[in-house]
Structure 1
Amino acid sequence: MTNAAAVAADFKQNPFTLVYDGAITKNEPGKVNIHPVKYRLNGLDIVANVYTPANYDPSQKYPAIVVAHPNGGVKEQVAGLYAQRLAEQGYIAITADAAYQGGSGGQPRSVDKPQFRIEDIHGAADFITRHPGVDVARLGLLGICGGGGYSLAAAKTDKRFKSVATLSMFNSGRVRRNGFADSQLKTIQERLQQVSQARGQEMAGGGILYAGDANLTDEQIAKLPFEMYRQGYEYYWKTHAHPNSTFKYTMSSLLDLMRWDATDQIELIDQPLLMIAGSKADSLYMTEDAFPKATGTTDKELFKIEGATHIETYWVPEYVDAAMGKLAPFFARTLVSGRS
């Protein structure tokens, strides 16, 4: 990996259990601050972090941005990094753990259904638009990896979001259905049978089956065919590990995932759209497939970070800076008072 000498971040060393480089360690007057919050969504407790800009004054009005985390990720990882960087640009930013995941409520654990992840985004908007100092008319959305696919879905109908951006967008439905890089097309029906059986077992009171378990050896990780997954294990289990983060999800979730696609009705997005991905990311095909289908907006841009892979956009300083170099002016231009 780029900068392979990066020291692993220890969540225990940060009072907010943040694991990204440059994370806030204490709230200080005149600086960006972090505020852990909890709210209810569809009967569940959702935990989130709200980042406020330097010299935040709740009597003033600020633009706000919802940041949706990757599949298996939590708010303390890359979503928190970008939320903090956006707060440094003057935004109030919120990133929440998905329902059934991370520190949020919901049983069984690690349910990963598109309708829940999309509702999480709507729910974060519900909460942050009532937060002191937020200008409801200037609300943006940033989705990272799987959160990017779900952000596209949320923005189709939730016009409270005046603009939407994605980073390293991952189309969870397409990948769960077709395999990564469409490598499992021949086994779709076979896998649907297995998923259906898992649902039946779960509903009958049997054990809950999980997919995506990440308990692999270094040797097994090295043999994985896709760089995104190899570097993903490095990121999630070594350099930026957090105890609330897991790759696994209930097998029965695939009943919903495998019939869903992030690009369905994507033409309903009429807001400004920015899609960012690494030029060397093996997941780039998902962004390149979705972008031209977003025909409902004429204000759109696809930006490739030269030399970056998927996971490297999460933490490598030069690539994070490159992403912020596009995100900051995009949101500054599109989240303006009086925009329809």
Structure 2
Amino acid sequence: MNRLKTATIMLAGLFMLVTQACTNTNTTKEKENMKNTETEEHYTFELSDKVTREKVSFKNRYGITLVGDLYLPKDRGTEPLPALAISGPYGAVKEQSSGLYANEFAQRGFAVVAFDPSYTGESGGEPRNVASPDINTEDFSAAIDFLGVQPFVNRERVGIMGICGFGGMGLNATAADKRVKAIAVASMYDMSRVTARGYFDSMTPEQRSQMLEQLGQQRWKDAEAGSPAYGTQGLPEPEQLTGDEPEFVKGYVNYYKTERGFHERSINSNGSWTATNALSFMNMPLLTYINEITPRPILIIAGENAHSRYFSEDAYKAANEPKELMIIPGAVHTDLYDKKDVIPFDKLESFFKENLK
């Protein structure tokens, strides 16, 4: 229990650094990193020789242009395909984990769009590197719009796959969007809960009040500067690790900051959120209506040793049947980002094929 408390404190500290640390002005280097959409094509996985990938774009309900990759099986026959919209993890881009998932699903007979959320990656929206429980939920529905008008997609057989923070967004989208017939999430985060209440709900009312006070003061600074400030500190570089960090810190660094998962446009690899990014998550709970997803099925997947496991367990408790919670023995949070020998793709395939009908 003491180790858990220590890990909780360190995780909360890391979260606060990433979300609250700020500068009065954005540096030239940060601007170059955030606005770089001309990066040479770089994916953290190999495209299957059984799959095609095509860059696509579509607009969400707010007029923001989203950019995604459409993955299709080369041998898809003549019948319209079941389809999936995929995004996540929080702070990642489509060339990372969501693309890997899409590539795998396409091999198994699905039409899949993996997309960059609004204000991130190659998608539109200003300022850059902003997240929103509302707009990012809408991004999923916009992807469903896109899939449903494709002639090779059966719009009655459409689902969502959400990873990490976009697991929570995906569940929120499914609750409101009855077109979604099934949803699966992996290493799910409830970003509104962790932002508003801290990890393991450890934030005190005084800390919450202080955080809101700081965010309000930062808005004055941004207004005076005419542009938003950005976080001054994100994940440490691999060489900065001492070895004493909790597993989750090592896991994030090992994925986002090494060849395994690094991508130039990924916020977690090469940037930071705006200093006021936490604001909208502070009082807009994502999973308020999770019980209204029923009778559409939910599959929730989490690692046995993941620091985020409690989000999945609590979402499972809040949801109505039909639902399933799958705990992967020995797995940690980031194992479900890209480790194909850990991610239960056979289970995911059978779940969606059984329920997208």
TM over 0.5: yes
1:191 aligns with 2:211: yes
Matched ranges for 1:169-188 at <5 A: 169-185=188-204, 187-188=207-208
Is the CA contact 2:53–2:70 (under 8 Å) kept in the aligned structure 1?
yes
What is the aligned length? 312
The secondary structure found in structure 1 opposite 2:277 is helix
In structure 2, what is the Cα distance between the partners aligned to 1:85 and 1:286? 25
Question: Gapped runs of 5+ residues in structure 2?
Answer: 1-38
In structure 1, what is the Cα distance between the partners aligned to 2:282 and 2:240? 26
Structure-2 change in CA distance of 1:118 and 1:90 (3 Å): same
User: Identity, % of aligned pairs?
Assistant: 33
- Note the C-alpha offset of 1:222: 4.4
Q: Which residue of 1 aligns with 2:35?
A: none
- Note the C-alpha offset of 1:178: 2.2
- Note the C-alpha offset of 1:182: 2.9
Which residue of 235, 246, 266 corresponds with 2:267?
246
- Note the C-alpha offset of 1:78: 0.6
Higher relative contact order by CA 8 Å / sep ≥ 6: 1 or 2?
A: 2
1:304 aligns with 2:304: no
1:110 aligns with 2:129: yes
Stretch moving more, 248-257 or 90-99: 248-257
Question: Gapped runs of 5+ residues in structure 1?
Answer: 1-13
- Note the C-alpha offset of 1:266: 1.3
Q: Which residue of 1 aligns with 2:57?
A: 38
The secondary structure found in structure 2 opposite 1:228 is helix
- Note the C-alpha offset of 1:224: 7.6
1:231 aligns with 2:231: no
Which residue of 209, 213, 233 corresponds with 1:213?
233
Is the CA contact 1:54–1:90 (under 8 Å) kept in the aligned structure 2?
no
- Note the C-alpha offset of 1:181: 2.7
TM-score when normalising by structure 2: 0.82
- Give deviations 1:106-157, integer Å, cap 9, x for gaps: 1111011111110110111111111220000000111000010000100011
In structure 2, what is the Cα distance between the partners aligned to 1:53 and 1:93? 9
Q: Which residue of 1 aligns with 2:15?
A: none
Stretch moving more, 159-168 or 174-183: 174-183
- Note the C-alpha offset of 1:229: 3.1
In structure 1, what is the Cα distance between the partners aligned to 2:88 and 2:67? 13
- Note the C-alpha offset of 1:190: 0.8
Which residue of 299, 313, 338 corresponds with 1:315?
338
Instruction: State the AA in 2 paired with 1:84.
Output: N
- Note the C-alpha offset of 1:268: 1.3
In structure 2, what is the Cα distance between the partners aligned to 1:228 and 1:215? 11
1:275 aligns with 2:300: yes
Which residue of 47, 50, 59 corresponds with 1:23?
47
In structure 1, what is the Cα distance between the partners aligned to 2:40 and 2:237? 30
Is the CA contact 1:72–1:246 (under 8 Å) kept in the aligned structure 2?
yes
- Note the C-alpha offset of 1:95: 0.8
Instruction: State the AA in 1 paired with 2:47.
Output: A
- Note the C-alpha offset of 1:218: 3.6
- Note the C-alpha offset of 1:285: 0.5
- Give deviations 1:257-298, integer Å, cap 9, x for gaps: 111333212111111110001111011011011111112xx2
The secondary structure found in structure 2 opposite 1:199 is helix
Matched ranges for 1:245-264 at <5 A: 245-247=266-268, 248-264=272-288
- Note the C-alpha offset of 1:226: 4.2
Is the CA contact 2:170–2:183 (under 8 Å) kept in the aligned structure 1?
yes
Which residue of 329, 333, 339 corresponds with 2:350?
329
Structure-2 change in CA distance of 1:266 and 1:246 (3 Å): same
In structure 1, what is the Cα distance between the partners aligned to 2:232 and 2:76? 41
- Note the C-alpha offset of 1:175: 1.2
In structure 1, what is the Cα distance between the partners aligned to 2:198 and 2:305? 19
Structure-2 change in CA distance of 1:283 and 1:184 (3 Å): same
Q: Which residue of 2 aligns with 1:83?
A: 102
The secondary structure found in structure 1 opposite 2:326 is strand
The secondary structure found in structure 2 opposite 1:86 is helix
Instruction: State the AA in 1 paired with 2:293.
Output: I
- Give deviations 1:149-169, integer Å, cap 9, x for gaps: 000100011011000111010
- Note the C-alpha offset of 1:207: 4.5
Q: Which residue of 1 aligns with 2:315?
A: 290
- Note the C-alpha offset of 1:70: 1.1
1:68 aligns with 2:92: no
Is the CA contact 1:52–1:93 (under 8 Å) kept in the aligned structure 2?
yes
